[in-house]
Structure 1
Amino acid sequence: MPSDPTPGRHVAYPALSPAAQALAARCESHVNELARHMARDAFERLPGYSDLPADVKDVEVAATVRTGLRLFLRRVQDPQGRAGDYSLFRERAAQRAEEGMPLHTLLRSHSTAVYVLWQALRDEATDEEAGALIELVDFLLRSHEAVIGAVAETYLVEQATLSAERREHHRSLVRGLLDGSMSPQRAFEELGLEGPCLVVHLHLPREEGPATTSVADRRLVRRVQAVVDRSLGTDSVSLLGVDGGHVVVPQQADDRDGIRTCEELRTSLKQLCGNGVRLAAVAAATAQDVPAAARTAVEIVRIARACGRPPGFHLMHDVLLEYHLSRHDESSDRIAALLDPIEDRPDLIDTLRVHLEHRHDRRSTARHLGLHPNTVDNRLARISELTGLDTGSARGNALALAALLLRGNAPG
């Protein structure tokens, strides 16, 4: 079954002897019989073939076999290849990929067809045609290599396309569930979720330095996804990127707040991404609660970062006051504007944030920033001078904290 494995490119084979052509011509009357034998009997030993509907075997498979047999016999008479000879084989390979037939089963069907054709040629040949038979077998095996190449290439391309479509559909379902743009119940059902769940937000550190390539980013996301799958199991669904993302996982009766789940996941992610990994988990009793839980989890991580809390697993309880202070209302803009005088001084912003996180301990703040305590004092005094905030009073510190949270100042 020689053919053109690459569209637009012709494949030619040496002319066969008149004796070989005559032997092949005598087999033309057996094409329909051979096709039925292959479709109904010879292929039955292939894994999964017996599960195909009878009409697929008798019509589709048999037609493909007939095309292959006639193509081979035509090429024996005229070895010049023509573009398009493999179009039916490619079409069938794409169909089998879409139906989920394993590639090895598809390729074995072509090899089985070659063997059955060899048997037919052998049975038809006389003792005097041994040389002609050898010619035909050589021609058959060389052309079979091209067939297998075209079929495998088409199958793998189609499989990759289908896999990409499934991944994108999965991502769109998770995205629609998280942002509420899709019916939560429908998304739950299509994703195979049920019952109460935890919505986990991941924040992954980005290394300083030259920008990473898209290839490196995709590799990182795949590796993070593998860690999530191993840690949380196949019941979880996720939407991840290079900065992190979300994971929705069934809630466990003995871990309703997700502490154990997230600590185990963070331990695994630390080995891949370093110590800067942050997580927050919020329970969602129903599918309808997932979008709000996702937003809350993002806010918990954002606030923990803005307050300078060390990386790790964050609960709402850890940032309860800060969460409350960061809610927007009619006073928010005025509070956030208190830090406008130092918005172009990241050194002062960082000092203020670390000072608040370290409970106003100047020495602890200095150690964290690598400064002398007197430098911290000077910076705090400068902040008070420029903003009017008294960082030595409870009220001043509360206003400074609220301003930081409302402005979203967070370490890079």
Structure 2
Amino acid sequence: MPLSPEARSLAARCEPRVNELARRMARDSFEDLPGYADLPDDVKDLEIAATARHGVRLFLRRVDGFGQEQPGSHRLFRERAAQRAEEGMPLHLLLRTHALGVYVLWQALRDVARPGEEAALVELVDILLQSHPAIVGAVAETYLDERSALEAEQRAQQRSLLRGLLDGMVPPGHVLLDQLRLEGPALVLALGLDAPPSAGPVAVRRRLRRVQTVLDRAFGMDVPALLDGDGGRVVVPQDCAPPDDLPQHLSKASGLQVRVAAVRVEGPEHITEGARTATEILRVARACGRPPGLHRLDDILLEYHLSRRNESSHRIAALLDPIAGRPELLETLRTHMAQQQDRRATAAALVLHPNTVDNRLAKIAEQTGIDLSSPRGTALALAALLLRDSED
């Protein structure tokens, strides 16, 4: 519906006061908003005042255009919203300035209205309130998009820094590592997820988000982590120990069996080696048949030592070459070691008759020459298994 001549005349009286209104908003009206007084003066006097001036003039142009929105009229609002997001202004403060600006403009219209112009004032307020939701929507959308992009960029940079530190490509004293809050002792974790091979990318992303949430809650902070479908590596930038029930919480969140290897390091310069050790603890614990859960070096000290490679490693690993083509024998040997050489427990784990286990163990001894009934033979078999897994 076209605006009445009285309404356009009333709005025109505010035209000479545009700069005054903008200054009042930027320097007086907004000062009571929480956090606004802390903004730099140049932001208030230049950018916010200019945005307020644009808003008032946009309203007056809309009145002249019979209430129609002009194409591109929200561009400046979007640009300013992106700037405020980059600067870290809270969204609630930004939206409150727009809402309060509408109220100040309404006050100006009311002040210049004359007796008998009530109907014209209602027409202008109608235009003002109609345009406000679109402006607020454009501002909020741009702000959230910019914050999302900034946070994604920050996360990508942190992941890159963390990967470089874990892989030994970023020196411990690098200035950017302040973003990871790595100064003193830290806890390095290696996670192993028994993920099904058929899991799609969407399911994997959801699972990893839940895993990250559990880690953040367990340590009371945003924990730097590099996660993938099989697990990942985590650095907790504080001197602490992992909760004993952390693997259980991770399993519940992910729906998978989870292994957690933990290594405490004295400082950032030891994180690379700590990550290697944690990854190796995870491998050895899995190779020697330890059930999923929390693994520390002391828990598998002997197995870890036996799995270290030296000039004799290839000869020890070769002891099992005669049964390399018999996967059922290798699995029986591995399970027998994991079950503390208890034949009945081995049979139960493999769903076999104990006599079948005995027959297989006899074939292993016959073909490899390893006496599994002696301490030396047990140590040789365990070392050979661990070294072969290391080669794989």
TM-score by length of 2: 0.89
Matches within 5 A, 1:11-410: 14-78=1-65, 79-186=67-174, 189-206=178-195, 208=196, 211-234=198-221, 237-244=224-231, 245-252=233-240, 258=241, 261-273=242-254, 276-340=257-321, 342-343=323-324, 345-384=326-365, 389-392=370-373, 394-408=375-389
How many angstroms does 1:298 deviate by? 1.1
Query: What CA distance in whole angstroms lies between the structure 2 residues aligned with 1:168 and 1:376?
Result: 51
- Give the AA of the match of 1:162: L
Query: What CA distance in whole angstroms lies between the structure 2 residues aligned with 1:387 and 1:87?
Result: 78
Gaps of 5+ in 2: none
How many angstroms does 1:401 deviate by? 2.4
Query: What CA distance in whole angstroms lies between the structure 2 residues aligned with 1:77 and 1:229?
Result: 55
Query: What CA distance in whole angstroms lies between the structure 2 residues aligned with 1:67 and 1:343?
Result: 79
Please list the CA deviations of residues 225-259 of structure 1 after superposition, one character each: whole Å capped at 9, or x if unmatched: 2222222222854333343332334225xxxxx4x
- Give the AA of the match of 2:249: S
Query: What CA distance in whole angstroms lies between the structure 1 residues aligned with 2:178 and 2:131?
Result: 49
How many angstroms does 1:39 deviate by? 0.9
Gaps of 5+ in 1: 1-13, 253-257
Query: What CA distance in whole angstroms lies between the structure 1 residues aligned with 2:360 and 2:2?
Result: 91
Query: What CA distance in whole angstroms lies between the structure 2 residues aligned with 1:289 and 1:99?
Result: 35
Partner-residue secondary structure (3-state), 1:349: helix
TM-score by length of 1: 0.85
Query: What CA distance in whole angstroms lies between the structure 1 residues aligned with 2:47 and 2:341?
Result: 79
Query: What CA distance in whole angstroms lies between the structure 2 residues aligned with 1:18 and 1:123?
Result: 19
How many angstroms does 1:344 deviate by? 5.3
Identical positions, percent: 60
Partner-residue secondary structure (3-state), 2:244: helix
Do the aligned residues in 1 keep the contact of 2:248 with 2:293 (CA within 8 Å)? no
- Figure out how many residues of one structure are paired with residues of the other and give that number: 388
How many angstroms does 1:119 deviate by? 1.3
Cα gap change, 1:273/1:81 in structure 2, threshold over 3 Å: closer, same or farther? closer
Query: What CA distance in whole angstroms lies between the structure 2 residues aligned with 1:333 and 1:202?
Result: 29
Query: What CA distance in whole angstroms lies between the structure 2 residues aligned with 1:220 and 1:52?
Result: 41
Cα gap change, 1:235/1:67 in structure 2, threshold over 3 Å: closer, same or farther? closer
Do the aligned residues in 2 keep the contact of 1:278 with 1:301 (CA within 8 Å)? yes
Query: What CA distance in whole angstroms lies between the structure 2 residues aligned with 1:265 and 1:146?
Result: 47
Do the aligned residues in 1 keep the contact of 2:82 with 2:142 (CA within 8 Å)? yes
Please list the CA deviations of residues 66-109 of structure 1 after superposition, one character each: whole Å capped at 9, or x if unmatched: 11111111121124444321111001111111112111111111
- Give the AA of the match of 2:45: D
Do the aligned residues in 2 keep the contact of 1:232 with 1:265 (CA within 8 Å)? no
Cα gap change, 1:189/1:60 in structure 2, threshold over 3 Å: closer, same or farther? closer
Query: What CA distance in whole angstroms lies between the structure 1 residues aligned with 2:299 and 2:25?
Result: 70
Do the aligned residues in 2 keep the contact of 1:43 with 1:49 (CA within 8 Å)? yes
Please list the CA deviations of residues 101-146 of structure 1 after superposition, one character each: whole Å capped at 9, or x if unmatched: 1111111111111111111112222223222221111111111111
Query: What CA distance in whole angstroms lies between the structure 2 residues aligned with 1:394 and 1:361?
Result: 14
Query: What CA distance in whole angstroms lies between the structure 1 residues aligned with 2:234 and 2:24?
Result: 54
Partner-residue secondary structure (3-state), 1:47: coil
Cα gap change, 1:285/1:113 in structure 2, threshold over 3 Å: closer, same or farther? same
Cα gap change, 1:402/1:144 in structure 2, threshold over 3 Å: closer, same or farther? same
Query: What CA distance in whole angstroms lies between the structure 2 residues aligned with 1:58 and 1:137?
Result: 27
- Give the AA of the match of 1:202: L
- Give the AA of the match of 2:140: A
